[in-house]
Amino acid sequence: MPLVATPAVVLRTYRYSETSKVVRLATRECGVQSAIAKGALRPRSPFGAGLELLSEGVAQLYLRDGRELQTLAGFDVANLRRELALDLGRFAGATALAEIVLRMAPAASHPAAYDALVAGLDSLVATGIAAADAAGIRALWRLLAVLGFEPSLRGCVRDDTPVDADHPVTFSAAEGGVLCERCAAERPEAAQTRLAARDYRDLLVLNDPTAPLPALDAKHAAAHRRLVARFVRHHSGEADRFPALELWERHSWAPLSPPQPVAS
Amino acid sequence: MSAIDDLVTELARLPGIGSKTAQRLAFHLLKEPAEAAERLAQAIRRVRSQVMACGTCGNLADEDPCAICRDPRRDATLLCVVEEAKDVAAIERAGRYRGRYHVLGGRVSPLDGVGPEALRVGPLVERVRNGSGVREVIVATNPSMEGEVTATYLQQVLRPTGVRVTRIARGLPVGGDLEYADGVTIAQALAARREMGEE
């Protein structure tokens, strides 16, 4: 059984027996893997605090082809990302990213998806609370793009007619992008969303990783969250299996001011 | 399905019990005197029919309010917030805490579809606000990511009440060994260091 060392992010952890954990990992070289971390809950466990949700490090895995559950020999943590716990909005966005990798990424190696996940988590850590929504939305669109679901935004998804960014536009989650006026009028569908010119321009910027993040107010941020969540649900074919995405989309918690350090 | 298969299936549904363990338990029960099995069945029936969540703190108890909420010797100005009722039992085992509790009924966990609205956060804010004299809320959620984000959320919703909000310390376990501690735990322990001589 070969021992493989690969960069990995913890996507999910489950208690297993009194002392062990089962973890689901996004790995750079081996895709999404489930592994048992024996003794991870013991006080002197070599895994220590590393196997926390969203932490990143180098996983040492005993891999056997055809096995659903691999064995995790070690996890050298490099980045715990505890900052995400300081804000529910950023944390919810980060878990939505993890959920999309769990549900939509292939089991085989996909370094681009791994890199997009890490970049998305890093941007959520680095971004202030005010821009957390925009960072989360961009990270989700980028992840979807590398997973093969990049929306067509510059030209009509049906006939490639260039779409004018100064006018309202129709976005079809089902067809995977924007529609020109003629196509939108020709065959209207339930999964279509009408975007104001400003929202369309913001959508273009959100899908351009080189551009600065747009300033989204609460109403527009909510609209963009709904749009990307709708897109995910449509293309995954598993509308009811995205609880983290739904929580992030609804933002059901009360609007809160930035946190203060808690006295210990 | 035979009676044995039925029992094995039911036992295997319990957390941490696989089919082999379930089978072993079932055959163990068959080997035991009939009264032992009857006592177990009765204990399960009793716990299901008698145990309820305390209307004040959410702890599991035979009576409402629970013994801790009824006890006048407990410090009503101190409130310790925990995720689950089993955490109350863990803190009580330590025998050092003399305040009261508030059980959230879980922690924020988006991947499980659990947001703050699914927890007993509203009743906590009500308890602090309604003039019950609470001066300090100790947030004792687990030091996991979900526990930390839950703690942050509680801090934010409690801030307008003006109550002091503290978080349980993180660091090295008593009887632990630096050599075996991971870097994150050592860093947390160093950050939470205090003057020697403080209790």
Q: Encode pLDDT of B45-57 as tens digits.
A: 999 999 999 999 9
Taking Cα atoms as reference points, which of B83, B92, B89 lies closest to residue B151?
B83
Integer Cα distance of B105 and B14 in angstroms: 19
Q: How confident is the model at residue A243 (pLDDT cuts 50, 70, 90)?
A: very high
Report chain A residues whose CB lies below 8 A from the CB of B164.
263
Report chain B residues whose CB lies below 8 A from the CB of A46.
182
ipTM over 0.90: no
Q: What is the CATH number of domain A83-250?
A: 1.20.1440.120
Locate the DSSP E strands across chain A: 3-16, 20-27, 31-37, 56-62, 69-79, 169-172, 177-179, 192-195
How many CA atoms lie within 13 Å of A92's alpha carbon, on the beta-carbon side?
29
Integer Cα distance of A35 and A63 in angstroms: 9
- Position A84 scores a pLDDT of 94
For residue A48, the chain B residue with the least C-alpha distance is B182
Q: What's the pLDDT tens digit per position in A118-170?
A: 999 999 999 988 899 999 999 999 999 999 999 999 999 999 999 988 999 99
Q: What's the pLDDT tens digit per position in A21-63?
A: 999 999 999 999 999 999 988 877 878 778 999 999 999 999 9
Q: What's the pLDDT tens digit per position in A208-236?
A: 999 999 999 999 999 999 999 999 999 98
Integer Cα distance of B105 and B102 in angstroms: 9
Domain boundaries, chain A: 3-80, 83-250
Q: What is the CATH number of domain A3-80?
A: 2.40.50.140
Integer Cα distance of A111 and A29 in angstroms: 6
A18–B184 C-beta distance less than 8 A: no
Strands B75-82 and B136-139: parallel
- Position B193 scores a pLDDT of 86
- Position A223 scores a pLDDT of 95
Q: Phi and psi at residue B100, in whole multiples of 5°? A: -110, 180
pTM of the model: 0.88
Report chain A residues whose CB lies below 8 A from the CB of B159.
257, 260
Report which DSSP code applies to A104. H
Integer Cα distance of A195 and A189 in angstroms: 15
- Position A260 scores a pLDDT of 47
Domain boundaries, chain B: 3-50, 68-195
Q: How confident is the model at residue A2 (pLDDT cuts 50, 70, 90)?
A: confident
Q: What is the CATH number of domain B68-195?
A: 3.40.1360.10
What's the gap in Å between the CA of A23 and the closest CA on chain B?
Answer: 14
Identify the CATH class of B3-50: mainly alpha
The verdict on A262 touching B (C-beta cutoff 8 Å) is yes
B113–A244 C-beta distance less than 8 A: yes
> Does position A261 have pLDDT exceeding 80, yes or no?
no
How many CA atoms lie within 13 Å of A164's alpha carbon, on the beta-carbon side?
5
- Average pLDDT over every residue of A72-99: 94
Integer Cα distance of A118 and A199 in angstroms: 27
